[in-house]
Structure 1
Amino acid sequence: MNVWQVPTKVVAAKAAGTLICLLLVVYGWLAGDLRALILVGVAAIVLAAFTARDVIARVRLSADAGGITVVEGFAGRRRIAWHEIERIKVDERARYGLRTTILEIDTGDDIHLFSQYDLGEPVVPVAETLIRMRP
């Protein structure tokens, strides 16, 4: 069984960002700055949600002889048999001087997208592994 998960560094960075935002919320409250309090409070809530998802559903993709399991929704899991997968593809795009590489798993009804930050390693080797595993 192959398992791909969010790297510890990414989870730690999101947790640190959440902590910094919470400290800024306290500072905004003490300073009496309502706008900063609301803005940083929303940022703290969003970062906390992303951090919680990374902790609860750390494994984003796993594959074995029977098929793959992907994260669906906030922290749910969905099992997909190999015969349900229509296409496994790597999509590369350049935008604003940055290169983005995404793994696409197409089941016909749904497309599941994974980045390097979801998988913990570059997407091309993951796609090659999945293609080799697929009967």
Structure 2
Amino acid sequence: MDDISPVQQWRVPASLPAAKLAGAVLLVALGLIFADGDPLRLVLAALAAAALAGWAVRDLIAPVRLVVDPAGLTVIRGFAGRRRLPWPEIEAITVERRPRWGLTSEVLEIDAGESLHLFGRYDLGTNPEEVAAELRAARRYP
């Protein structure tokens, strides 16, 4: 890991917002098909579709979730904001593994003392363990 670039970023895969938007359209279509005269079913389907579309819009507005450079990290904050974390503020970089429903999920955890930043595979577009190793190398861990 000696070839860390001065600035490296991890982002949501381009296919993910498209899949979320397709899911939103599918929810509306299913709501129309199965409403059967019941406006509540259509409203619930539209609300679920709007939430999914909003999630997709976030991925389109702020696809970059994590940036590393020699001075520290920049992480996404809120819907599409950014927060700068200088290296001295970062207490730990770990990967939490949890088995769930027969699958193991991995989450990159960046502990900045007063805040904890979590990133999954779909936030980073790659394996969280690989990102953690690159972040540790960029921080010049032994």
- TM-score when scaled to structure 2? 0.88
Q: Distance in 2 between matches of 1:10 and 1:48?
A: 11
User: Counterpart in 1 of 2:29?
Assistant: 23
Q: Distance in 2 between matches of 1:13 and 1:62?
A: 24
Q: Distance in 2 between matches of 1:46 and 1:28?
A: 20
The one of 126, 130, 134 equivalent to 2:135 is 130
Q: Distance in 1 between matches of 2:43 and 2:34?
A: 9
- List alignment gaps of at least 5 residues for structure 1: none
Q: Tell me which amino acid in the other structure corresponds to 1:21.
A: L
Identity of aligned residues (%): 46
- TM-score when scaled to structure 1? 0.92
- For residues 74-93 of structure 1, the aligned pairs below 5 Å read 74-93=79-98
Shift of 1:98: 1.8
Number of matched pairs: 134
The one of 33, 36, 39 equivalent to 2:41 is 36
Q: Is residue 64 from structure 1 mapped to residue 69 from structure 2 by the alignment?
A: yes
Q: Is residue 55 from structure 1 mapped to residue 48 from structure 2 by the alignment?
A: no
User: Counterpart in 1 of 2:104?
Assistant: 99
Decide which structure has greater helix share.
1
- List alignment gaps of at least 5 residues for structure 2: 1-6
Q: Distance in 2 between matches of 1:47 and 1:28?
A: 19
Q: Tell me which amino acid in the other structure corresponds to 1:95.
A: R
Q: Distance in 1 between matches of 2:83 and 2:130?
A: 22
Q: Distance in 2 between matches of 1:85 and 1:53?
A: 26
